[in-house]
């Protein structure tokens, strides 16, 4: 499983992506718990439910099951202008 970070999320994680080879999260809620453990500064954003998730290049808006081979992208909210 690959987790890609975009925009200011990369500033919090200090990397562009993580790879999980074992004990991967089973769904988006598990992924949020995982991310909170390794990146505590993401917790406030995850708890406010403002981040967007895409699984294999498709946005999901609710908890979604994950597979070991999935690529998850995490985006901050997008503003127009």
Token pair 């498709």: residue: 58
How far is it, in rounded angstroms, from Cα 49 to Cα 70?
21
Q: What b/e sequence results for 61-81 when a residue is b if at least 16 CB atoms lie within 10 Å of its CB, and e otherwise?
A: eeeeebeeebebbbebeeeee
The CA-based dihedral angle spanning residues 41, 37, 69, 11, taken in that order and rounded to the nearest 10 degrees: 20
Percent of the chain with pLDDT over 70: 96
pLDDT confidence bin for 12, thresholds 50/70/90: very high
Q: What is the pTM of this model?
A: 0.91
Give the chain's domains with CATH numbers: 2-75 (3.10.20.30)
């Amino acid at each position: 499983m690959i987790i890609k970070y975009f925009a200011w999320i990369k500033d919090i994680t200090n990397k562009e992506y993580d790879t999980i080879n074992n004990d991967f999260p089973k769904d988006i809620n598990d992924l949020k718990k995982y991310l909170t453990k390794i990146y505590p500064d993401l917790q406030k954003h995850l708890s406010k439910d403002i981040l967007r998730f895409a699984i294999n290049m498709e946005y999901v808006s609710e908890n979604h099951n994950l597979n070991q081979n999935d690529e998850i992208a995490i985006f901050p909210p997008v503003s127009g202008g």
